[in-house]
Every structure is written in structure tokens, then in C-alpha cells.
Chain A
Amino acid sequence: MGAHNSRWRPLRNALLLLAPVLLVLLVAFVIPMVYIFALSLQNEEQQFSLGNYALFLHDSYYVGILWRTIKLSFYTVLACLVFGYPVAMFMAKASGRMRGVVTFLIIAPHLISVVIRNFGWVVILGNKGWINTTLMNLGIIDKPLKLLYNELGVVIGLTDAYIVYMVLALVTSLYAVDTSLYKAAGILGASSVRKFVSITLPLSLPGILAGSTLVFSLSMSAYVTPALMGGSAVKVLPVLTYENVMITLNWPLSAALSFLLLGSTYALVTIFTKLVETRRYKEVFSGA
């Protein structure tokens, strides 16, 4: 009995302490997710049906929205990577103090509500905003450029919102690069381009992968930024889902849309990860 008791007593004690947190998790997350999954598989007569999913996949309007969501998320990943990579490289080369300052300045804005940051973008990009006023005063343009309420506006807003994740994922892998590799390459006469292509880039691949998948997933499910900076012109899947939940009140379809969003994001991230990793193995083995 003693041995039995000593194995299970920690579990009993732990469960007692875990009870409150598990209760919150069950009531606010696990049960609701299972519940809406079941709901997504029901038709109007509450019988099992894949009708909600079929409806989406057979409607070119819906598929077009999914495609636009994927496209804008892809552009956002690209923008975050192109602008985030030099920042991460700068941080990796900088002194400890400089590194701290840049880290703080890139994370801090992220802790302020996205609604407010999007409003700031309206002030900057709007027809009477900073950029258009400046360009018109300089006589470069005579009517305002359309920088907002289109796909460009959404990508700018999403890049602002998520570039921090890309930079942090990249620096984590760049900080781990052994600096003596650069010295060795330098002695062997490698140019800085060669050092970048042969050392920095391959060694930062895990960071690129982690940052890209994170930014992609976040962009796919973003609601606020497309709603405020894309307006009615740029409808994405989360906006469509919101309308079905709150305006059309078609909850079984909304539930299906939620899982289509989750499923398509997960599938694309998995495919992307597999592609990058296969290439990496090939490179390692062919290089050897």
C-alpha cells in the first residue's frame, strides 16, 4: 500500500492545486472548443452533416476570401522578414547596452493596444494624413495617394503589429552563432557577402522558420487591423467569420469557418516547415 500511496499522493496534492486553473481552462476553453466543433458538423435539423464546410469550399466568393487572407499573411511575413532581418543582424553585432535599448524600443509599442496603433496609422496614412500632406505641400503629388482602406494598408498595419515576433525569433538564433566562425571565414578570405550566405543565413534558418510561422499564423487570424485599416474593401476570413457570428447569426457556419481558419493555417505552416527542413537536410548531406 505504501508504494502505491507514495506514487499517487503527489498526483492528489497536485490536482488539488491545479483544480482552479483546470476549471477555468475547461469552462472557458476546452468545452467551448469541443462544443463549437460539434456544432460545425451539424445541419439545421441538428443532424450530422459536413454541409457547413462544403458550403464554404464550393462558394468561389468564400474561397476568394480565404485566398486573400493567405496572400496578405504571406506579404506580411515577407515584409517582416525583409525589414526584421537587418534589425536582428544589427542587434547581434551591437554592444549589450545598445542591444537592450533596441529590444526595449521594439517590444514596448507592442504592449499598447492594436486599436490605438491602427488609429495612429490612420493619422499617418489618411487622405489628410502626414504622408499625403507632406507630399502635396512639396508638390510631388496633386491628389492624395490611397494608402489606407486597401490591401497595402492592411499589410502595413499587420507588419507593424507582428514584426516584433520576427525580430525576436531571428535574434534568438543569431545570438547563438559562434563569432569565431566569422573570424575563420575572414582569415580564409571570405567576403562579407560570402560570410552572410555561408554562415549567417544557414545558421539563422531555425529563426526564420519560427518567426515566419508565428507571423503567418497571427496574420491569418488577425481581425482588428483588417477591420480598421482595410475597411469593407478588404474582407479577410476573420472579418467574414465575425460577420457570421454577430450579424448573420449563423453559428454552425461560423463554427465551421473557425475550424477552416485553424485548419488552413495549420496545414500551410506544416507544409512550409516540411519544405524548409527537407531542403536543409539536402543541403547538409550534399555539402558533406
Chain B
Amino acid sequence: MRRIPWLGIITFIVLLFVISPLIVIIPTSFTDSNFLTFPPEGVSMRWYEKILDRPQFVDAFKYSLKLAVISAAAATVVGTIAALAISKFKFPGRKFISALLLSPLTVPAIIIGIAALIFFTRISIAGTFAGLLLAHILISIPYVVRLVLTGLSTYDYTLERAAYMLGANSMRVFWDITLPLVRPAVLSGFIFSFLTSFDNVTVSLFLVTPTSTTLPLAIFSYMKEILDPLVASISSVVILLSVVFIFLLEKVYGLDRLFGVNTQSHS
């Protein structure tokens, strides 16, 4: 008599539960119907053609892409430099500074968005690209700092000292020793920041304008008014793009390590 593998069955159901909302979107996007039905009726590409009829989504896509690339690059540069400073220099207040850099994670995104809107209005940068960019850099900084600090925790500073003794200058040491050793952490910090920015709704909500909005917000606003297969075709494009980045992240760093779980030990 075999025992029923309950844990396996429940795990399978839970995985199905988290994956199915994404899976159902793809077939829905090829529907020939005017309405959102599942299973979809007929097969057509018309809802993909419709995307191009709506410049607001194409513009929002470009805007999101620009925002995600610039904010991820900026967050990665300033976050990596900060992590290097914290790890290398033994200065008073290090603990406080690293706690401060991680502190945006402890405040809900909606409150970060509200605080930014109210203060940015005061200093007249609300509704500008600069304001939105600043907020997106902010929400990515904690992830970059944490990733690079983790990467540096096993970093051997004797390598740097050896290079200096051999006559390398500090630029040379940075490019040839430090950077290559923390590259996986820095690269995954960039990709994760890109996804954080590209997916964000709750902070952007308060900082975009009706004319220049991000893609997730354009979808969000559209969905609150109309529910038709157009949302499915746009979402499918975003899912495809995100899947590419997710696999990249898995290759470069591993999603398990990114989320602080080690699957390799104890097996």
C-alpha cells in the first residue's frame, strides 16, 4: 500500500495557483471575440494589431523602458559605490548608514509614493520625469546595496593590497580586482532594479501625469475602465519581456540566492 504524497500534491496545486494567472493571459490574447472570455473564442491577431492603434500604450512602453534603464543604471552605480564604501572603510556610524540605506524597504510603497508626491509638489518636481526617476532610483537602492554587500562579505581585501604593492593605482585596482569579483552581484542588482522599476505601480501612481505615464499604470488605468482582450495582448508582450529578464537573472545569479535562500546546502 503506497502512501498518498500529499505534500507533493499540495505543492503542485500551489504552483499552479501562482502560475495560472499568467498562463491564461496568453491564449486570451489571441481571441477573436470582443469580450473577455475563457476559454477564448476563435483565433486571431486582431488584439495585437489594436495595440498599435493606441499610441498611449506604445508611448507608455517607451516611457517605462527609458525610466527602467536609467533608474536601474543610476541605482546600480550609486548603490554599488555606497556598498563598497561601507564594506571597505571602518568609519564610525557604518551600521547606521547601512540600516538607513535599507530603510526604504520597511516603509510601504504607497507611503513612499504619497510622501514623494507631497514633498515634490513643494519643490516643484512633481509630475516631472526627474521626480519619477528619483523615486524609482530610491526604491531600487536597498536591493542593490544588499546584493553588493552580500557579494562583498566574502571579498578578500588582501588581493587589493597585493595589487597596490605591485604598483597598481586605485583606478586599476577597482577595474581589475574589485569590479570583476563583485560583477555577478552588481549585474543582478541592475537586472533586479530594472524589473522593480518596470513593474512598479504603487509609487508611480502618484508621480506620473496623464500624458506621460508608465506601462503598468496605463494598463492599470485602462483596466479600471474597460476589460477587453486588449489588456491580454499588451500583458502578453510584457510577460514575454519579463520572462527573458527572469531567465537572465536566474543564469547570472539564481533567483534563490537573490531572495536569500540557498537551495544547494543540505541536500
**A residues bordering B, Cβ < 8 Å?**
7, 10-11, 13-15, 17-18, 20-22, 24-25, 27-29, 31-33, 35-36, 39, 83-84, 86-87, 89-91, 93, 95-96, 99-100, 102-124, 126, 128-130, 133, 159-160, 163-164, 168, 171-172, 175, 217-218, 220-221, 223-224, 227-228, 238, 241-242, 245-246, 251, 254-255, 258, 261-262, 265
Contact = CB atoms under 8 A, between A and B. Distances in A.
Nearest to B28: A123
B149 interface: no
A130 B260 contact: no
A33 B22 CA distance: 36
A103 B15 contact: no
Given A21-B82, A95-B267, A122 B118 contact: no
Nearest to A108: B246
Nearest to B247: A108
B14 interface: yes
B169 interface: no
Contacts of A39: 118
A33 B107 CA distance: 10
6 contacts: A24-B78, A87-B15, A106-B14, A116-B22, A133-B39, A221-B109
A114 to B, nearest CB: 7
A63 B41 CA distance: 45
Interface of B: 6-8, 10-11, 13-15, 17-25, 28, 35-39, 77-79, 81-82, 84-86, 88-94, 97, 100-101, 103-104, 107-112, 114-120, 122, 134-135, 137-138, 141, 145, 195, 198-199, 201-202, 205-206, 216, 219-220, 223-224, 227, 231-232, 235, 238-239, 242-243, 245-246, 249-250, 255-256, 258-267
B199 A245 contact: no
A109 B14 CA distance: 12
Residue of A13, A31, A106, A254 with most partner-chain B CB within 10 A: A106
